[in-house]
Structure 1
Amino acid sequence: MKKIFLILLCLGIFSCKGDQPEEVNNNETTTDSLNTEDLIPEALKTNKAVVLNLEEANKLVELPLNCLDTEYPNKLGQTLENKEAMGEPHELHPAFYGCFDWHSSVHAHWSLVSLIKRFPDVEKKEAIRESLKNSLTAENIQAEIEYFKREHSDSYERTYGWAWLLKLAEELKTWEDPLGQELSKNLQPLSDLIVQKYMEFLPKLNYPIRVGEHTNTAFGLAFAYDYAKTTEHTELLELVKKRAQEFYLRDDNCPVSWEPSGYDFLSPCLAEIDIMRRVLPKNAFSLWMDDFMPQLKNEDFQMEVGEVSDRTDGKLVHLDGLNFSRAWAFYGLANQYPESFGHLKSLANEHVSYSFPNLVGDTYEGGHWLGSFALYALQESGNKPKD
């Protein structure tokens, strides 16, 4: 009966317009020192928050800055129409050819923009600006658009790479700097194309994809929602809300005990919560959580971190990413509804503390992408960066 009531509530039979999700400031970042190897056991015991400072931001910048122009090794993930469709990564993707694959290059760009916005005095600020300016030219972005228009590339990077492209576009759109506005304008045609692809694809998707890797539907919806909200793209925003509710509103008892799978970098259960907290009004979300994952309201709730056995293995190191993505889901939930979920911050801190010391000096298998996940988790924590 409660589930039927909830469905009716969200369909508008019961008015919930006056009870909208609480706004959360997600534009702050955080973290503890990267030189914390000896302190991590204590951090785990005390659930101390990791807070980013300028010194460590200078180190973290190196990850995306060094990989943007690293063309090989490279995983193109393309479907070839013919032999003429082949080419070197920089020829196929002049803007996003480094960092092993297209989506990692996109969120490496996001990392640089995010860091320079929050730490304007970062040591390599000029190198960052030059790298972004050389990469995100109008000409390069047009070439990226042409790739998406290839006969067999319509689903390229759906929806993980799409989501990160919109996150980059959102970050540039809100960068109050002449360069940020120039790059935002350059990127806009590709952003518009990705929005169009969401608008065409989501109505055709009959069932959500509930995995812990790239194609997870909930993750793709969450970043699309953020972009639509920031840019006031009403049509995309309403479609994301509609599809999220149609996909997930009837879900009960998410089997979180089955997680993680061996290659997960997303939690299927928490990714679903992360989008539903965005699209449901407060009372409706609380009712939904009572059915979906009520144990999260228990102040004694625990979840063991994802343990990585070999960080030179590109798939096994995904579990470091899982720890960061779990953390951003916990932080987002705790910040939006502290009265019910504030206790989850300590669990988020624990997950970040486990994987954060491995970012700098790690192998390329993790180094080319994990920094972005860490930064986003720290941004979602709501803690202010240290000078």
Structure 2
Amino acid sequence: MSRIFLTLFACTVLLSCDNGAKNNPSNLQNTTKNAVLLDTTEAKRIMALPLHCLETEYPNKLGQVIGSAQDLKSPKQLHPIFYGCFDWHSSVHGYWSIVKILKTFPDLAESKQARLILNDKLTAAHVEQEIAFFLDANNTSFERTYGWAWLLQLQAELLTWKDPEAEKWAASLQPLANLLVKRYEEYLPKLVYPIRSGQHDNSAFGFNLAIDYARTVQDSAFESVLEQHIKRLFMKDRSCSIAFEPSGTDFLSPCLEEALVMAKILPEEDYRTWLKGFMPDLFAKDFKLEPGIVKDRTDGKLVHLDGLNFSRATCLNGIASKLPELHHLHEQATNHLAFSLPHISNDDYMGSHWLGTFALYAITHQ
């Protein structure tokens, strides 16, 4: 952990605050938070993972429906942009990681290589081929909604980057983002029940990324659709027991992902009431959650639990930031993040092709 700085704001800060601050705990909600800060060394370590895999075509898990012999094509032929990093969605969020780090650390030595990849891949012609795949009748539900949401997250990152090349990449990618917004709007009215798994098809996780996109690009119509269906699917939920988590291959927490997305759409008091009915244990000052344990990081499913620790950290920090009395959850978030952060490396492709993104996302959403 030598390349990670753990900054602890001492509890004595609370004692020195004036009476006005004591009577307004929202001013204090982050003062006891352990923050994992990203320095250039750690950014380079994380960035090396997608740089290694974005142009690595094999091994590859395609995941498409084959309609005829004509569909038997290589990953790169099917997906001229998102063919690397083992599967489509990992390639998408690998690009997100690169863009995020380039925006934060523009002077990294690796930036030249990263920009070459982005310029080579994010072209209008390549995006047209990616769109053609989604328009195939056999693959209308491809990557629903996990990959869709990550594509929107990538586009939001590009659109908020004041960089001439980024503006060009965003313009090229926008038609695919528009298509996936449309797919979301067509799909949600048909989804009678939310998907509560701890893996890719978890509805709440997709909502979390999609609503961030809608707000970033100020698409009020899409935001309204998302909020409507989030409330329809989750508002009446009660008594989610995290004691039954995780399952053996989870990388998402069904309870915490739902709690996070509700934090994003409900006013503070409404959210407090809802959360007390949904996960009352979170309000206990001695609440503790043990990180998931991985015993074989060469196993592509078992290593999911490192990702769970990162996604839990994101959720716990987001929930704690909504309600000041839950500031104790920040410590649990940092414990999860610090537990798995040393294990992201190029040692084995089953983890290296995606875990860096989840670590980076957790660090940048504290």
Task: State the TM-score, normalized to the length of structure 1.
Answer: 0.86
Aligned-pair CA distance for 1:48 = 5.2
Task: Give the whole-Å Cα distance in 1 for the aligned partners of 2:304 and 2:44.
Answer: 24
Show the counterpart of 2:67: 81
Contact persistence 1:265–1:325 (CA under 8 A): yes
1:257-276 matches, within 5 Å, as 257-276=243-262
1:110 aligns with 2:96: yes
User: Which of 121, 127, 140 is 2:126 aligned to?
Assistant: 140
Show the counterpart of 2:26: none
**Which SS does the other structure have where 1:197 is aligned?**
helix
1:343 aligns with 2:328: yes
Aligned-pair CA distance for 1:237 = 0.4
User: Which of 334, 339, 353 is 1:354 aligned to?
Assistant: 339
Task: Give the whole-Å Cα distance in 2 for the aligned partners of 1:174 and 1:143.
Answer: 25
Aligned length: 341
Task: Give the whole-Å Cα distance in 1 for the aligned partners of 2:275 and 2:45.
Answer: 39
Show the counterpart of 2:212: 226
Aligned-pair CA distance for 1:34 = 4.4
Alpha-carbon spacing, 1:214–1:349, altered in 2? closer, same or farther (3 Å)? same
Quick one: percent identity of the two aligned structures? 48
Alpha-carbon spacing, 1:173–1:35, altered in 2? closer, same or farther (3 Å)? closer
Aligned-pair CA distance for 1:78 = 0.7
Identify the structure with bigger relative contact order (alpha carbons < 8 Å, sequence gap 6+): 1
Task: Give the whole-Å Cα distance in 2 for the aligned partners of 1:71 and 1:299.
Answer: 48
Aligned-pair CA distance for 1:207 = 0.4
Show the counterpart of 2:161: 175
Aligned-pair CA distance for 1:49 = 3.5
Which sections of structure 2, spanning at least 5 residues, go unmatched? 7-31
Task: Give the whole-Å Cα distance in 2 for the aligned partners of 1:304 and 1:362.
Answer: 25
Query: What are the Cα deviations for residues 176-205 of structure 1, in whole angstroms up to 9, with x where unaligned?
Result: 101111111000000000000000000110
Question: Could you tell me which amino acid in structure 2 is paired with residue 117 of structure 1?
Answer: K
Show the counterpart of 2:46: 60
Structure 1 runs (4+) greater than 6 angstroms displaced = none
Alpha-carbon spacing, 1:369–1:285, altered in 2? closer, same or farther (3 Å)? same
Question: Could you tell me which amino acid in structure 2 is paired with residue 164 of structure 1?
Answer: W
Contact persistence 1:35–1:357 (CA under 8 A): no
Query: What are the Cα deviations for residues 165-184 of structure 1, in whole angstroms up to 9, with x where unaligned?
Result: 00000000101101111111
Contact persistence 1:33–1:56 (CA under 8 A): no
Which stretch of structure 1 is more off in the superposition, 103-112 or 295-304?
A: 295-304
Instruction: Name the Cα RMSD after superposition.
Output: 1.5
Task: Give the whole-Å Cα distance in 2 for the aligned partners of 1:299 and 1:328.
Answer: 19
Task: State the TM-score, normalized to the length of structure 2.
Answer: 0.91
Task: Give the whole-Å Cα distance in 1 for the aligned partners of 2:192 and 2:42.
Answer: 44
**Which SS does the other structure have where 1:99 is aligned?**
coil
Question: Could you tell me which amino acid in structure 1 is paired with residue 120 of structure 2?
Answer: N
Task: Give the whole-Å Cα distance in 1 for the aligned partners of 2:109 and 2:160.
Answer: 22
**Which SS does the other structure have where 1:380 is aligned?**
coil
Contact persistence 2:34–2:330 (CA under 8 A): no
Which sections of structure 1, spanning at least 5 residues, go unmatched? 1-31, 40-45, 382-387
**Which SS does the other structure have where 2:139 is aligned?**
coil
